[in-house]
């Protein structure tokens, strides 16, 4: 429609906030930002402000925006991206508040992207989620699982690799149930094997994998396919089987450890990362200790941990939650402390080895140094020239910190 990008919000004719609804803190931040945009709108009444993304898929939020934030002109539902030009046109014609939060089956536009990296590309392979973990809003705001056609994904990845992309990140809420809705289509391990056949120098990553669907076939495929990274993000959420049951995760701590043991039986140094929720309703001291036990047992290279956030409309929001915020905060600090020790110790296994690294950027606050990600998804810091950004290099690892390993660039 003739719009182009600007970095300066004072210059903008159109501002669209893309929102997340997973935790309440993200929503609060959006309301804060929208509140502060009132001044921009006063200065420039022709400015159009829009809100898109998961927040808008909650009816009470869409209502709140309409009622309490008159500076917002348009609201766009998660699957209504195709409707944006028409809504914009309505706004430009002065039709007032325009909204489309209907659910659409055609998600082709959602798969199209303006890419801001010339060497790393994310490729959505499925949308939505069927799992209904009791704490999670995603199934309510993104709808049921819909997989993209396998040939479309393969063609897209071929094009990306041809244009020089080095890292392909396949995305979905639960990638290992990819294809189940296609009726006789390709499974996720089959898709990985097909993508692995593409000629070129690139690495395939994927996220997230639900442990209940992390089959031996998937793990065998990771080991068989040389372009697939030797790393698995396997969100455990809690080490307590009791909490996992109340979370409706459909696996126990023991079952989860069986998967981990299978992976480590193939490669004891394999890299695992996870998501954890601290302070799920009524999480006891013993439950929390079980979470500490599981992170010590698995030895994750990295964890992404979140304090439980109550999401209205989910089952967990109805559960009694007698644990104070203070206790939850203390547990979070303890978890991070334990993980920091684990990471530093565990990263030492790479010292003396050579890692293949895709160079990401200049190191912040360390002139002359670069950072990149190893095949195992570990951050690697080393001295080198910025011309290496976007390329694969070999780095000999010499040290380990709690967030990265350090090393020396190998030349020749
Ligand atoms: N589908 C992925 C899975 O099941 O692993 C994760 C997607 S979810 C958007 C990302 C992470 O956010 C989850 O793994 C969970 O740890 C966290 N999360 C989801 N709902 C949450 C809530 N209500 N409070 C705190 N963390 C939450
Ligand atoms: Fe949310 Fe992931 Fe559970 Fe789906 S599988 S409900 S996205 S945490």
Residue at a domain's end among 44, 73, 100: 100
Does some domain include residue 270? yes
CA dihedral 286, 287, 288, 294 (to 10 degrees): 110
Q: Give the residue, by CA position, lying nearest to ligand 2 atom 2.
A: 173
| CB of 311 closer than 6 angstroms to any ligand 1 atom | yes
- Say what the pTM is: 0.94
User: Which atom of ligand 2 lies closest to the CA of 249?
Assistant: 3
Assigned token pair, 120: 């790393």
336 and 306 in contact (C-beta within 8 Å)?
no
* Chosen domain end from 301, 319, 348: 348
pLDDT at residue 185, as a whole number: 83
- 357: which 2 tokens? 């690294």
Question: C-alpha angle 184/190/193, rounded to 5°?
Answer: 160
Q: Could you identify the atom of ligand 2 that is nearest to the CA of residue 129? A: 4
Q: Which ligand is nearest to the CA of 235?
A: 1
Whether residue 122 sits in one domain with residue 92: no
How many Å apart are CA 389 and CA 5, to the nearest integer? Answer: 24
Q: Is residue 1 part of a domain?
A: no
Do 301 and 385 fall within a single domain?
no
* 233 and 344, same domain (yes or no): yes
pLDDT at residue 101, rounded to an integer: 81
Sheet holding 231-233, edge to edge: 231-233, 271-278, 302-307
Ligand 2: does its nearest atom lie under 6 Å from the Cβ of 233?
no
Q: Is residue 60 a contact partner of residue 67, using CB atoms and an 8 Å limit?
A: no
Alpha carbon 20 to chain centroid, angstroms? 11
Alpha-carbon gap, residue 382 to 397, rounded angstroms: 9
Is 87 within a domain? yes
Task: For a ligand 2 pocket test, name from 126, 171, 174, 276 the mutation site with the most ligand atoms within 8 angstroms of its C-beta.
Answer: 174
Sequence-distant (≥ 6) Cβ neighbours of residue 360 within 8 angstroms: 120, 370, 371, 372, 373, 389
Closest ligand, as measured to the CA of 54:
1
Q: Which domain holds residue 196?
A: 109-348
176 pocket-lining for ligand 1 (C-beta < 6 Å): no
Residue-wise burial string across 349-374, b where 16 or more C-beta atoms lie within 10 A, e elsewhere: bbeeeebebbbbebbeeeeeebbbbb
How far, in Å, is the centroid of ligand 1 from the Cα of 32? 23
What distance in Å separates the CA atoms of residue 237 and residue 244, rounded to the nearest whole number?
8
Distance 135 CA to ligand 1 centre (A): 8
What is the total count of domains within the chain?
3
Q: What totals of helices (H) and strands (E) does the chain contain, helices first?
A: 12, 17
Closest to 26 in 3D by CA, of 17, 37, 15: 17
The domain boundary residue, chosen from 100, 135, 155: 100
Rounded to the nearest 5 percent, the helix, strand and coil shares of the chain are 40, 20, 40
Residue 80, in any domain of the structure: yes
Establish whether residue 129 lines the binding site of ligand 2, counting it when its CB lies within 6 angstroms of any ligand atom. Answer: yes
Same domain, 331 and 403: no
Does a structural domain hold residue 126? yes
How remote is the CA of residue 242 from the centroid of ligand 1, in Å? 18
CATH number of the domain within which 147 lies: 3.80.30.20
Q: What is the dihedral of CA 363, 364, 368, 371, to 10 degrees?
A: 0
Measured in whole angstroms, how far is the alpha carbon of residue 246 from the centre of its chain? 24
Q: CA–CA separation, 176 vs 222, rounded Å?
A: 12
Same structural domain, 175 and 304: yes
Model confidence pLDDT, tens digit, residues 208-243: 999 999 999 999 999 999 999 999 999 999 999 999
13's enclosing H/E stretch is none
Q: Is 134 in the pocket of ligand 1 (CB under 6 A)?
A: no
Sheet holding 98-100, edge to edge: 14-19, 48-53, 74-76, 98-100
| Pairing mode, strands 405-409 and 392-400 | antiparallel
Protein residue with least CA distance to atom 22, ligand 1: 309
Same domain, 32 and 163: no
Nearest to 386 by CA among 354, 410, 360: 360
Residue nearest to atom 20 of ligand 1 (CA): 136
DSSP 134: T
Q: Is the CB of 212 under 6 A from ligand 2?
A: no
Flag residues of the chain having pLDDT under 50.
Answer: none
My answer on whether 337 and 362 are in the same domain is no
| 297 and 401 assigned to the same domain | no
Residue 308 in contact with ligand 1 by CB distance below 6 A: yes
**Residue 124 C-beta-side C-alpha neighbours within 13 Å:** 16
- Kindly give the number of the ligand 2 atom that is closest to the alpha carbon of 237: 8
In a shared domain, residues 211 and 147: yes
CB 399 within 8 A of CB 378: no
Task: Decide whether any atom of ligand 2 lies within 6 Å of the 210 Cβ.
Answer: yes
| Alpha carbon distance 378, 374 (integer Å) | 5
Q: How far is CA 396 from the centre of its chain?
A: 29
Centre of ligand 1 from the C-alpha of residue 90, in Å: 36
Is residue 218 assigned to a domain? yes
* Ligand 1 site, residue 138, Cβ cutoff 6 A: yes
Looking at the structure, tell me whether residues 242 and 356 fall in a common domain.
no
Q: Are residues 91 and 124 both part of a single domain? A: no
Alpha-carbon Rg for the chain in angstroms: 23
Report residue 385 CA to chain centroid gap.
30
Q: Is residue 235 situated within a structural domain?
A: yes
Q: Is 235 in the pocket of ligand 1 (CB under 6 A)?
A: yes
Do 394 and 251 sit in the same domain of this protein? Answer: no
In this prediction, residue 111 carries a pLDDT of 64
pLDDT at 325: 96
Q: What is the pLDDT of residue 109?
A: 61
9 within a domain of the structure (yes/no): no
Burial classification of residue 200, based on how many CB atoms lie within 10 Å of its CB (0-12 exposed, 13-18 middle, 19 or more buried): middle
């Amino acid at each position: 429609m003739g719009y182009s990008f600007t970095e300066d919000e004072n210059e903008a004719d159109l501002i669209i906030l893309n929102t997340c609804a997973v935790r309440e803190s993200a929503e609060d931040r959006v309301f804060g930002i929208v509140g502060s945009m009132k001044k921009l709108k006063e200065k420039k009444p022709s400015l159009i402000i829009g809100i898109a993304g998961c927040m808008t898929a909650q009816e009470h939020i869409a209502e709140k925006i309409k009622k309490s934030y008159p500076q917002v002109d348009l609201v766009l539902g998660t699957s209504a991206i195709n409707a944006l030009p028409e809504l914009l046109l309505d706004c430009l014609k002065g039709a007032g508040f325009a909204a489309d939060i209907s659910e659409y089956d055609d998600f082709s536009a959602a798969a199209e992207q303006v890419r801001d990296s010339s060497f790393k590309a994310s490729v959505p392979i499925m949308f939505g989620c069927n799992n209904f973990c009791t704490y999670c809003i995603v199934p309510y705001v993104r709808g049921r699982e819909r997989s993209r056609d396998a040939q479309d994904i393969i063609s897209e990845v071929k094009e990306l690799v041809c244009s020089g992309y080095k890292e392909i990140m396949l995305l979905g809420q639960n990638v290992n149930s990819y294809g189940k809705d296609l009726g006789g289509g390709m499974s996720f391990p089959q898709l990985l094997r097909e993508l692995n056949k593409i000629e070129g120098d690139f690495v395939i990553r994927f996220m997230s994998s639900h442990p209940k669907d992390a089959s031996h076939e998937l793990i065998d495929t990771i080991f068989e396919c040389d372009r697939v990274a030797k790393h698995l993000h396997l969100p455990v959420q809690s080490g307590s089987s009791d909490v996992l049951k109340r979370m409706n995760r459909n696996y126990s701590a023991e079952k989860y450890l069986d998967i981990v043991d299978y992976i480590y039986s193939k490669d004891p140094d394999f890299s695992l990362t996870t998501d954890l929720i601290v302070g799920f309703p009524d999480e006891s001291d013993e439950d929390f200790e079980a979470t500490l036990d599981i992170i010590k047992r698995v030895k994750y290279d990295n964890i992404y941990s979140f304090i439980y956030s109550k999401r209205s409309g989910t089952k967990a929001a109805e559960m009694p939650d007698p644990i104070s915020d203070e206790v939850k905060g203390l547990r979070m600090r303890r978890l991070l402390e334990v993980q920091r020790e684990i990471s530093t110790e565990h990263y030492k296994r790479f010292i003396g080895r050579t890692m293949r690294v895709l160079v990401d950027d200049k190191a912040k606050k360390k002139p002359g140094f670069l950072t990149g990600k190893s095949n195992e998804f570990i951050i690697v810091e080393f001295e080198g020239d910025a011309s290496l950004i976007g390329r694969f290099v070999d780095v000999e690892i010499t040290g380990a910190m709690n967030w990265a390993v350090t090393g020396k660039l190998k030349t020749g």
